[in-house]
Structure 1
Amino acid sequence: MTGHRPRPWAVCALTAAVAVLCTTPAAARGAETLPEVRPRVETPALYDDEAGGNADADDPAIWRNAADPDRSLVVATAKEGGLRVYDLDARLVQSIAAPAAPGPDDAPGRFNNVDLVQGLKLSTGRADVAVTTDRGSDRLRVYRIDPSRPGRPLTDVTDPAAAPPVFSTGQEEINEQRTAYGLATWTDRATGRSYALVSRRERTTVALLELIPTASGGVGYRTVRTLDLPASFRLPDGTSWSPCAEPGELPQVEGMVVDPANGTLYAGQEDVGIWRMRADLTGTPRLVDTVREYGVPAVYDEATEECAAGADPGYGGARLSADVEGLTLLQESDGDGLLLASSQGDDTFAAYDREIDEDNEYEGGFRVTGASPSLDGSEECDGAAVLAAPLGSRFPNGLLVVQDGHDAPGDGDRAATNFKFVDLADVTTALDD
């Protein structure tokens, strides 16, 4: 990729719970003009209204069919719309509904994030599975991927008897929707055990759940441990700062990814920045980059339901604009690679080196822009997934899939979302320039 750049951060605070690394002020470095890449294809639009099934594109994952890479799949969440499965031409293969609400006053199923586990041990043999957070019911759902069923490749193998609420104590608490939110899967190479790391909506908690095969051929899980990231931060001038939010809300985590080479978890705390920590949630997390808005004082206005920001003291980073979302790992065959992060606030993507001993140096950025009037780019990206492996004739260099929070052209006043498919060679070329 690109050559090493000067480190844009310096250690500014250390506590028993976390090591906080603060970026030098954005104004000291100036703005950066980023290269543009264009999608090759896009999925059909999803509409978050009754007519569209309350479907809202959020987070993708890429499954490679090793026996026939041309038949690889993209599995993606659509919130209340459940799961969508697409082929490499971005055509819909399968639609899986989210579970109905258990009662008339209860929250319905709402699939938020998705990730894959390869070769998960089941009582019936090993299988690749897709794991998703069901924010509506505060549970995980697990789907077996079966390439011999081209029209319905995903089958629910969640064992309901072994799939309890992740954070809540009962349905009343589930209905408050401080529930399972972000997700990353991880298989510990030392033990062979597979896990899901799950964040909690409107809280700073991340939980480590072990995925467990059950006698019925299904999958359940158990909580191993949890970790709470900070909700407030000590600034270089000695003051304390917390991101502005509605009363009672804490700065949540959503985008997460694990580097399997070293068991490192990267977690995006949306209004704060990117954390690096051990995937087993032991040790001391480190904040390796912050959003531009880090340290900016703001007051929540109940009348407008917006935060009124004060003067920027210049403690934030220069690469990310809140929210930081869509973390994904580009793993190259030679062991190199990049951490990619969606900078939702300015419609860009930032790339960082995987090397933790180099403090994940910034390696460049890019935008996903429109390829034609009918094929637009990515705005306010929620989720992203990348795979640096040949995917048949369509994407022989690998694939980047990004969510588009404002698909265009729209359908009148209806808000539309979808997913864009980008040739990975275009991304690596842009970052090398």
Structure 2
Amino acid sequence: MTRINAATAALSILALIVLASLVGVGGILSATAVSTTVTSSAVADTYLSTVAPGSNYGGATVLPVSGTQYHVLLRFNVSIPSGGAIISANLRVYSKRAVNGSVVVHPGETSWDEAAVSYATRPLWYPEELARTAALRSNKYATAALPASAVPASGSVGFELTMAPDVQASLSSRETSNPPQLVITFSTATPSPTATPTSSPSPTATPTVTATTSPSPTSTPTASPSPTGTSTPSSPAGVLPSVETVGFSGSGDVSDDSAIWVNDQAPNNSAVIADNKASSGGGIGVFGMDGKLIQYRNDGMIGNVDLRTGFSLGGRSAVLVGANNRTNNTLVLYTLDTAARTLSPVAARSIATVSPNYGFCMYHSSLSGKFYGFVTPYSSGIAQEFELKDNGAGLVDAVLVRTIAIASTTESCVADDELGYVYFGEEDVAIWKYGAEPGAGESRVAVDAAGGGHLVADIEGMSIEYGSSGAGHLFVSSQGDSTICAYERAGSNAFVKKFSVAANGTIDAVTGTDGVDVTSKSAGTLFPRGVLVVHDDVNTDGTTSNLKFVPLDHVFP
């Protein structure tokens, strides 16, 4: 009896030692939550027509959708691992043309047959609205943020799409290279660490932790990535904006890019310059750090905007502002009056660009001191690099010094003046990193790929936050899930974090993220450590898109 009690006591002590060791390293009493984003294409889609109620359109490549005449049916398969919890769900549809209207998403049945269903045999109709997209842009995906509860963890889910009365759009079907997509982010817990016994006289427990890693960037991502699910360190946290801009006049998603100018002597008098790409009434505006409009110029469909300080013009240092004008496919240039915070045109002539142009960014070489502007094409074609120079008469001219082959739609670009790189965002493919100097050629590497676990197409706005000695971050807009990704500025641009911009009081949350700009300099009382400016495609208390100003210390405390 004495021997049995002693053995039992010894085993109890050993168990306590093992348990204490496990707890000490976050063992069996804890588990690490990770998030995974999966993009799936529709497994069935069709449209219903009241004009031809007996006809079936299950093989159509274009899905017309309207208020009454045409409804679209979509079906997706969902499979979330056991124990997973859906964090967010986004429906993405590709519009063949620009439409000043939103696609409305309703719940839908899943029992219909793609090859047989017609309006006459349509499934049960649910008028409840789940979500809606922003105004549709030509040859672009539009995103509707669904309630997480609208998507099951496993099985099939259906949706029915409509629009407002008297509005009609044309969407790409699953038979094309731009199918309807369902983007789901879900959380799971990693397996609890387990103990590995050893033969050491002093019993110890060695936990085994299975870590997940980001995908290594590759130089040849595919144009149509297969649906993937890659774990990220944590689910996208929401940072809070402090200011939002008043909207431009009109309606729809008209303003989506910005450039920050910091007044180093009086940071509260800094400014944000923004585009207005509307086909009627488009132009460029200047906002104060309170979000109020200071100046507006009706100069056409301004696409992307950028600026650089220290440009020598007429023997004086100027703030040079540039943009691409989509109305006439030209490069437009301005100087900023830093006292009045107003723009004045300074282009020496009408500077023709690639047609149609789409995006723009600037570069100030630390090697030569010269200034450059990059213009991107609307679809496949070439990106152009122009040298910007004083023409000797107080105006700015541009000389084409380089072209870069572009395989598909690429709007956004950003240049790192100190490190000498320029980044292009090929929207459905990858972030590409090139040398920014005119003689750098077409050699490139991929920083990250759409569908690779961090970015959900479209890849949109990009900006550089400068730190000391190469430190800082590359910010990239992940439009498909309305988030921003941050990467290390130096080295191979390692992924750092992903976040969304949440609602704050009367300021609504950001959806459909497009253009971004950032500075680490003080931009006033509300932004002592810098500011991140983010586009919001649907401003809930306005008729047009607008910009949200986020204190940078909300992103990196």
Is the CA contact (8 Å cut-off) linking 1:47 and 1:417 kept in structure 2? no
1:9 paired with 2:216, answer yes
Q: Quote how far apart the aligned CAs of 1:334 are.
A: 5.0
Change beyond 3 A, Cα 1:350–1:10: closer
Larger radius of gyration: 2
The within-5 A match list for 1:8-407 is 8-9=215-216, 11=218, 19-20=219-220, 26-29=228-231, 32-49=234-251, 56-80=254-278, 81-98=282-299, 109-150=300-341, 153-160=342-349, 163-167=350-354, 178-229=355-406, 231=407, 251-280=408-437, 281-292=440-451, 317-333=452-468, 335-356=470-491, 359-372=492-505, 374-407=506-539
- Once residues 502 and 426 of structure 2 are traced to their aligned partners in structure 1, the CA distance between those partners, rounded to angstroms, is 25
Change beyond 3 A, Cα 1:404–1:331: same
Q: Quote how far apart the aligned CAs of 1:377 are.
A: 1.8
3-state SS of the aligned residue for 1:329?
strand
Is the CA contact (8 Å cut-off) linking 2:257 and 2:461 kept in structure 1? yes
Q: TM-score, normalised by structure 2?
A: 0.58
Is the CA contact (8 Å cut-off) linking 1:20 and 1:288 kept in structure 2? no
Residue 417 of structure 1 corresponds to 545
Q: Quote how far apart the aligned CAs of 1:333 are.
A: 3.5
Gaps in structure 2 of 5+ consecutive residues: 1-210
- Once residues 392 and 253 of structure 2 are traced to their aligned partners in structure 1, the CA distance between those partners, rounded to angstroms, is 34
- Once residues 377 and 63 of structure 1 are traced to their aligned partners in structure 2, the CA distance between those partners, rounded to angstroms, is 24
- How many residues matched? 340
Q: Which amino acid aligns with 2:519?
A: L
Q: Quote how far apart the aligned CAs of 1:124 are.
A: 4.2
3-state SS of the aligned residue for 1:29?
strand
Gaps in structure 1 of 5+ consecutive residues: 12-18, 99-108, 168-177, 232-250, 293-316
CA RMSD of aligned residues (A): 2.2
Q: Which amino acid aligns with 1:290?
A: A
- Once residues 349 and 128 of structure 1 are traced to their aligned partners in structure 2, the CA distance between those partners, rounded to angstroms, is 28
Q: Quote how far apart the aligned CAs of 1:221 are.
A: 0.3
Q: Quote how far apart the aligned CAs of 1:159 are.
A: 1.3
Q: Which amino acid aligns with 2:351?
A: P
Q: Which amino acid aligns with 1:155?
A: S
Q: TM-score, normalised by structure 1?
A: 0.74
Change beyond 3 A, Cα 1:26–1:9: farther
Q: Quote how far apart the aligned CAs of 1:164 are.
A: 2.6
- Once residues 323 and 110 of structure 1 are traced to their aligned partners in structure 2, the CA distance between those partners, rounded to angstroms, is 21
CA-to-aligned-CA distance 1:175-213 (integer Å, 9 cap, x gap): xxx322211111111111100011011224211100021
- Once residues 5 and 428 of structure 1 are traced to their aligned partners in structure 2, the CA distance between those partners, rounded to angstroms, is 23
Change beyond 3 A, Cα 1:155–1:55: farther
Is the CA contact (8 Å cut-off) linking 1:385 and 1:401 kept in structure 2? yes
- Once residues 423 and 30 of structure 1 are traced to their aligned partners in structure 2, the CA distance between those partners, rounded to angstroms, is 24
Q: Quote how far apart the aligned CAs of 1:55 are.
A: 7.9
- Once residues 355 and 6 of structure 1 are traced to their aligned partners in structure 2, the CA distance between those partners, rounded to angstroms, is 19
Deviates more, 1:263-272 or 1:196-205: 196-205
Q: Which amino acid aligns with 1:271?
A: D
Q: Which amino acid aligns with 1:224?
A: V
CA-to-aligned-CA distance 1:303-354 (integer Å, 9 cap, x gap): xxxxxxxxxxxxxx01111111010111124531111111001001111111
Residue 311 of structure 1 corresponds to none
Residue 313 of structure 1 corresponds to none
Change beyond 3 A, Cα 1:345–1:7: closer
Deviates more, 1:332-341 or 1:109-118: 332-341
3-state SS of the aligned residue for 1:46?
coil
Q: Which amino acid aligns with 1:61?
A: A
Q: Quote how far apart the aligned CAs of 1:10 are.
A: 5.5
Is the CA contact (8 Å cut-off) linking 2:217 and 2:449 kept in structure 1? no
Q: Which amino acid aligns with 1:254?
A: E
Q: Quote how far apart the aligned CAs of 1:68 are.
A: 1.5
3-state SS of the aligned residue for 1:70?
helix
CA-to-aligned-CA distance 1:11-60 (integer Å, 9 cap, x gap): 4xxxxxxx3268998425379411110110101123544xxxx8811200
Q: Which amino acid aligns with 2:443?
A: T
Q: Quote how far apart the aligned CAs of 1:218 are.
A: 0.7
- Once residues 136 and 28 of structure 1 are traced to their aligned partners in structure 2, the CA distance between those partners, rounded to angstroms, is 40
- Once residues 362 and 480 of structure 2 are traced to their aligned partners in structure 1, the CA distance between those partners, rounded to angstroms, is 26
Q: Quote how far apart the aligned CAs of 1:156 are.
A: 1.1
